[in-house]
Structures are given as structure tokens and as C-alpha cells.
Structure 1
Amino acid sequence: MHALVTVVGALLAMAAVSALGLWAAGAADLPDGAFAPVVAATVVTAVGGTVKLSGSAGDLADTQAGLTVIPLSVTLTGALVIAWGFLRPLRHRAVAGTAELAGWAARIAVLWLLGLIGLALAARHTFDISLGNDALGELGDLFGASPRIGFTTDVPLSVFVGVVWLAGVLVLALLVSRGAPLPAGLLRFQASVRPAAYAMVALLLACVVIGVVVALVVAATRGHVAETFAVILLGMPNLVWLALTIGLGATWNGRVEGPFGLPMPHVLDEVLRTPDISELNLRTLAEHDGRVWWLLVVDVVLLLAAAFVMAARSPARVRAWQHAVHMALALALTVFMICLVGRVSAHYGLSVLGIGDLGGGLAGELFLRPRLWGAVGLAVPWGLLTGFAGALSARHVRRRGEVRAEQTG
């Protein structure tokens, strides 16, 4: 019963966040009852599922469309609910057998699988797109070439990736929670892995909290309330985790063209809306807004805090250089994950009798991708430095078990 509550609660929470975010973004006005299927598609993509776009504009026209983006606010919501539900029955336990943990995870996985299949099947729809009231619109009506855009999910792939995502969430939940039991064979790894995993999750959540606070302040002082809440409910982690990597010195390549655009802050759109592929980093952003250099300061503070937390949760026998190595590895893996899930790609084009030619005002393109290994490479020295500093700052923190034993010995 608890497994059912966990899965249903996670799916409902993700659907609610998706619906509110899409409503704030204006998706409630989509034609032909497309809102509910779009909500289902959003939940599917939030767990790594694949949504395929298709276009049709009659025999005299051509359309092209594609979209790849993960709404990480929805992803984070589902992950937190599932992690809470998975860990709750295991709390206050010292050790759990591998078979027991596997059985509990399997019950959740089966129900999750059924829920994903239902969502993937529901996430399909086709609707018309207006060409407007100008000459192009009249041509479209005359020749029956009004464009129709449809979307559907790759059900087998989406379900497979969704189950892998669930497995990752459950494993991470076990690693992060100090009170969750581990099988006896894995206890020797908890001193090095658990503090680092907890520190990285705390770092990512702190970034989201800061981003939400800043967004609410912007909404209260400058307006754009609906746009701001759409960003918070759909893509706040996309923005703040991108900012985290940029503050570390990472570079992302991208381009914005046509009607597409990136959400707040608008400086992102300004940097990327160029004829050629643009670089997105501290230097290029600072050319448009000097306040971007504060990202560097914020990163330093957050990483030092994460390193301190990691050291404070580690046994006293762990040396400072070991903390530095653990922090470097954990931060590199975290940045690697951000680079994988933070990619964005979208394009749309229409040509009617050669007018438009899949370009001009009838087409749009947006993509954002990281220089992956450069970003991961920068995370290593950052982790070494802040990990060592965090270990030094936590030397006099009272720890569990070993410190108390040393003091009484």
C-alpha cells in the first residue's frame, strides 16, 4: 500500500507542477484540447522520456519540428516525493538485507512502470497552427496547407529510461540519507560516499532555493509574474544549475533564432541571439551585464559550505586530502550530470510553395549544449581546493562516534 501511495503521490505531484507551470506559460490556450496531453508529455520528458514531434501542412507545404528539453523542476519534484516515500519505511533501521531492499524497490518499480505506460500512451495529440491573417495565411487556407503539429511518445524507450531514472533516484536516496540502512556488504563505503552525496544534493537544492528567491523578488519588483512562475515551476533547476557551471568557468555553446527564446534572465537570450553559434560563459555574459561576476562569488560560498557539510558528516579518521579528493570526484560527477540533463534543443520550420523556405519569420531554432569535458575538468580543481578548505574548517566540529571515543579515551 505504501508503494502505491509513493508512486501515485509522485505522479500527481509532477502532473500538478507541470499543469501549473504550463498554465502560467499560456499553454491552457492550446487548441483542440491539447493541454492535458501536453501535461502528460511534460511528465514523461521530466523522467528522461522521448517525445517525437511531427508536422503536416498538405501536399504543397513542408514542416519540420523537434524538441529536446527536460523540465527539471518537474523532475526534482518527482525525485523528492519518491525518495521520501522510499526511505520512510526504512528509517530507524541499522542494517537492511539486500533482498529486503530489492523487494521494496521492485514493488515501487512495478507500479511506476504501469504509471509511466499510461502517461506515455496519453501523451499524444495533434493541433493546428495559425499562419495569421496576412498573405501567407490566405495561401495556406487556399491550398489547404495550414500546418498541423503533432506529438507522441516513444513508449518503449520512454518507459525504459523512466525506470532507469527511478533506479537512480532510489540509489541516490539511499546514499544521501544518513538514517537509511545499507546492506552489510556496502557499509564500508558509507564513510566516503554518503557525506559527499549528501553535500552535492544539498548544493543543488541550495541553488534552486536561491534561484526561486531571486525570481520571486524579480516578479515582485519588475512584474512578469506569469512568466516568472512558469520558469519556477518548469525550469528553475535548468537555469540555476547552468549558472552553477558557468560560475565555475564552464562554457556552453548555443544559438537562439526566430520566435524561440530562453526564459529569464533575458541576458541569456541577448548573448545567444546572434547569426553564428555563441559562447555562453562569464566573459560573454559580463559584456552584457557586469553583475554576472557575482556568480563566481556565490559559487565559492556554496562550494565551501558544501565542503564543510561533507567534512562535518564524515568520520574523524578521514584526512583533509581525502576530503579534497572526495569533493573533487563528487563535484565532477555533479557537473557531468548537469551537462547531460541541461541540454536544450528546439527547432520549427514551415515552407508553403517555397515561401518561408523553412526560415525567416516562419522558422526558429534554439540549442544550448556544454563543452562537457572542459566543464568536468574545471570541477576537479574547484573540488580539491574547496574540499581541503572545508576539511580544515570542520576540524573542531563534534562528530558522531569516533570523535566522542577519542575524547573519552
Structure 2
Amino acid sequence: MSQHGATSPGRAAHAVRDWRDALVAVVAGFAAMLAVAALGLWAAGGTDLPENAFPQVVAALVVMAAGGSVGLAGDAGFVARSQAELTVMPLSVSLVGALVTALLFLRPLRHRAVARTRELLGRFARLAVLWLAALAGLAAAANKTFPVSLGEDSLLSDLGEFLDATPEVGFRADVGPTLLYGLLWLIGVIAVALMVSRKAPLPARLVRFQESVRPAAYAMVWLLLAYVVLGLCAGIVVAATHGHPARTFAMMLLGLPNLVWLALTLGLGASWEGKVEGPFGLPMPQVLDAVLRGENTSTLSVSTLAEQDGRAWWLVVVAAVLVPAAAFLMAVRSPARTRPWQHALHMGVALALTMLVVCLTGRVAARYGLSLIGVGDLGGLGGEVALEPRLWAAVGIGLGWGIVAGLLGSLLAAPVRRRGEVAP
């Protein structure tokens, strides 16, 4: 009895501490995403949104950044038809939330070498419960409808008033898909964090895989963050020298990884297909809009970009420098007994998976059209922005580049002293 009574308070205190750690990670992660989304929307002029919709749009941005689903809608009574679609992730917001949440999830585990599977699953379950609860609250707040102005003294305005069919557009988060995709997003973030961190403990059964997985995962995270840092520096230069600083900072705060990770795939030789039609478009750089603008689908690649701006070939140079640098970093962090063909295999698989993730998260699909009794493109609102990767070709390109870079990195790291070596 006395032993049971002594251990129960200890278990209760341990459980309270685990819930506290999960709560801190969730609150800090969402606070970081809300701050970045709010600053980005403010820089983009979001304070001028009608109907005081700034908070709802910020909530929608965070929902999309966490993997959620936000749908567009339009309505103008029984005589209207609308078609709407929105698929895009503001990856700047996603990246900040992922980094903060992952760091705080790993922090209580940093002084341990091994952790039981049940303990890790329990910690993740607590995090997931609180994360999904917060995401559900934001999804409920991401709901707004705006009236569409058709201008004064216009035929369409008079017709809509006569038929009591004033057009409206709006957005609403789909709670069910948001919770499902949000859970998958969180699983991916924590899995990558456990693979990357040297200090994060693993279950005993998985320890034998860390020598092959962790160096490659770390190299890929380093590669993606290196592109973000370069993009950040380029964005600051553009804001200081080319005018429109508010628009530039809005792009960096909301979609910088969308652009720089797209640049990574293009620099490696991958291509995308898309089009820009109507009043909407890709905000910057304008060369993307120039390549994709038109009614027909266009191919986006380094060569088509270079037709508009010859500096696009620098994307190949940057990739040719940073990818072997990542392979060298992977080789240095790997045990000395790892053979060159193993480096090549690890790097190839890692870069192929990275290309897959970048392509899936970088897709853009925004389409809107509203018609009133057969009159299409009501108020000039109809438009489409689409950008889709040639997915499996990009994955194959990543595999090939990774194999070559892995061999090169292994050769470059040969003179460097690494873990597992014994001095003669």
C-alpha cells in the first residue's frame, strides 16, 4: 500500500509535466504561425479587407499552413452558379510552426539516449490531442463571406437587385479534412524532427537505423534551410533596391519557401506545368507570371524562365553548389566505415523524397468563377492560377542528382576525420 501510494503521486506529477510540455509546444507553435501570418497579411495590405475580415483571413492562412483545407464559395441566389477552388500552402508560416513545435517537442528528451516506444507515442498523442483541438478552433474561426460590388448604375447590378441575387464570395475551412490533414502534417513534422536530431532518443529497435537515416535527413533539412536563407537575403536586397518593400516582405512572410524550393527543383532540372489567367496572378517574381500567363497550359523550367530573364541559369549553378555541399555534410556526419556506394544510395533516396515533398507542398490551384443567369465572369472576377509539378520525373531527377552528389560528397569527406575513426 505504501509503495503504491508513493508511486502514484510521482506518476501523476510525471503525467502533468508531459501534458504541460505538449501544451507549451502547441501554444508556441500556433502563436508563431499566427504572428507570421498576421505580419505577412498586414504587409500585403490585409488591414483594408472589407467586413473587418483580417482575423478570419489570418486564421485561414494558419489552417492552410498546418495542412488544413479551406474552400472558396460564391452565391447569388437560385439563379447563380459558382466554381471555386483553392489549394496552396503558405510555407513560410508552415516552416516557422514546424520548427518551433519540433524544437519544443524534442527539448524534454534531449538528455537521453534511448526512449521507450510507448513513451514517445504517449508524448505524441498528448501533442496531437492539443494540436487538433487548437486547429479545430482556428478552423471554426476561418469563415467569412463578402458581398461583391458590381459597380453603380450597371446592368448587372440592376439585374441582381431586381432578382434579389446579390452575389457573395467567401471562404470556409472544412473541419473534417482539416483535422485529418493537420494530423498527417504533425506526424510528418515530428518524424522529421526525430530523424534529424542527434540528441533525440529513439526506441532501442530503431537505434541501428540512425547511422544511415539521420545524416541524410539532416543534410536535406540543411539544404532546404540554406535555400530559405539565400531567398531571405535576396528578398531583403530586392526590397531595398527595387521598390515595393511591403509587397516583398509580404511575399517573404507568407510564401518564401514556395519560391525558393520551387527554384531548387528547377535548378535540378525538374519542370512544372501551369497557367495564369484573369485578374489574379503570382505576385512575384514577375517572370513566373510572364511564363505562365495565357489561356493554355505552359511549361515552367529553367529554359523557359531564361527566355524571359537570362539570370535564371544561376538556379542551376546554385543547385550544383548546394546539393554536393549537403552530400559532403551528410558524409561528414556519417560513420567513417560508411562506403561510397552507401553514401550515394542514402543521398539519392533522401533527395528523391525531398523532391517528392517539395512538389506535393508547392502545388498551387486557385480558380474562381461566378455567373448570373448565364452571364459568365460576373464583375470580372473569373480567373485561374495553377501550378503542378511533373511529379515522378522530378523524383527521378532527385534520385539521379543524389547518387552523383553522394559519391562526390564521399570523396570530398574522405580526408576529414569523422565519427568511428580510430587514431593509429
**TM-score for the superposition, normalised by structure 2:** 0.92
- Corresponding letter in the other structure for 2:174: D
The Cα offsets for residues 159-183 of structure 1, whole Å up to 9 and x where unpaired, read as 1211121111111101000111111
What 5-or-longer segments of structure 1 have no aligned partner? none
State how far apart, in whole Å, the 2-side matches of 1:144 and 1:361 are: 20
State how far apart, in whole Å, the 2-side matches of 1:30 and 1:138 are: 25
**Match of 2:52, SS?**
coil
State how far apart, in whole Å, the 2-side matches of 1:350 and 1:113 are: 34
In the alignment, is residue 98 of structure 1 matched against residue 99 of structure 2? Answer: no
- CA spacing shift, 1:140–1:203, aligned 2, 3 Å: same
- Corresponding letter in the other structure for 2:21: H
* 1:70 maps to which of 84, 89, 102: 89
Contact 1:131 1:140 in 2 (8 A): no
**Match of 1:127, SS?**
strand
Contact 2:150 2:379 in 1 (8 A): no
* 1:27 maps to which of 46, 49, 55: 46
- CA spacing shift, 1:372–1:134, aligned 2, 3 Å: farther
User: Which residue does 1:358 correspond to in 2?
Assistant: 377
CA-atom RMSD in angstroms: 1.5
User: Which residue does 2:392 correspond to in 1?
Assistant: 373
State how far apart, in whole Å, the 1-side matches of 2:249 and 2:50 are: 22
Shift of 1:144: 3.7
User: Which residue does 1:192 correspond to in 2?
Assistant: 212
* 2:199 maps to which of 179, 187, 191: 179
User: Which residue does 1:88 correspond to in 2?
Assistant: 107
User: Which residue does 2:175 correspond to in 1?
Assistant: 155
* 1:17 maps to which of 36, 58, 77: 36
Aligned length: 404
Shift of 1:41: 1.2
State how far apart, in whole Å, the 1-side matches of 2:149 and 2:39 are: 25
User: Which residue does 2:5 correspond to in 1?
Assistant: none
Shift of 1:360: 9.1
User: Which residue does 2:407 correspond to in 1?
Assistant: 388
- CA spacing shift, 1:352–1:243, aligned 2, 3 Å: same
Question: Relative to structure 2, which stretch is displaced further, 331-340 or 25-34?
Answer: 25-34
User: Which residue does 1:238 correspond to in 2?
Assistant: 258
User: Which residue does 2:98 correspond to in 1?
Assistant: 79
What 5-or-longer segments of structure 2 have no aligned partner? 1-19
The Cα offsets for residues 91-131 of structure 1, whole Å up to 9 and x where unpaired, read as 12111111221222222111112111111111112111222
User: Which residue does 2:249 correspond to in 1?
Assistant: 229
**Match of 2:319, SS?**
helix
- Corresponding letter in the other structure for 1:300: A
* 1:131 maps to which of 123, 141, 150: 150
State how far apart, in whole Å, the 2-side matches of 1:118 and 1:290 are: 47
User: Which residue does 1:4 correspond to in 2?
Assistant: 23
User: Which residue does 2:234 correspond to in 1?
Assistant: 214
- Identity of paired residues, percent? 62
State how far apart, in whole Å, the 1-side matches of 2:387 and 2:153 are: 33
In the alignment, is residue 332 of structure 1 matched against residue 355 of structure 2? Answer: no
Question: Relative to structure 2, which stretch is displaced further, 147-156 or 69-78?
Answer: 147-156
- Corresponding letter in the other structure for 1:50: S
Question: Relative to structure 2, which stretch is displaced further, 51-60 or 196-205?
Answer: 51-60
State how far apart, in whole Å, the 2-side matches of 1:106 and 1:251 are: 39
State how far apart, in whole Å, the 2-side matches of 1:189 and 1:164 are: 23
The Cα offsets for residues 65-110 of structure 1, whole Å up to 9 and x where unpaired, read as 2211111111111100111101111112111111221222222111
Question: Relative to structure 2, which stretch is displaced further, 290-299 or 357-366?
Answer: 357-366
State how far apart, in whole Å, the 1-side matches of 2:304 and 2:217 are: 32
**Match of 1:316, SS?**
coil
Shift of 1:353: 4.2
State how far apart, in whole Å, the 1-side matches of 2:295 and 2:171 are: 29
State how far apart, in whole Å, the 1-side matches of 2:275 and 2:217 are: 34
Contact 2:348 2:406 in 1 (8 A): yes
Shift of 1:141: 4.3
- CA spacing shift, 1:359–1:37, aligned 2, 3 Å: closer
User: Which residue does 2:225 correspond to in 1?
Assistant: 205
- Corresponding letter in the other structure for 1:341: T
Shift of 1:397: 1.4
Contact 2:372 2:378 in 1 (8 A): no
User: Which residue does 1:293 correspond to in 2?
Assistant: 313
Shift of 1:359: 7.6
Question: Relative to structure 2, which stretch is displaced further, 22-31 or 220-229?
Answer: 22-31
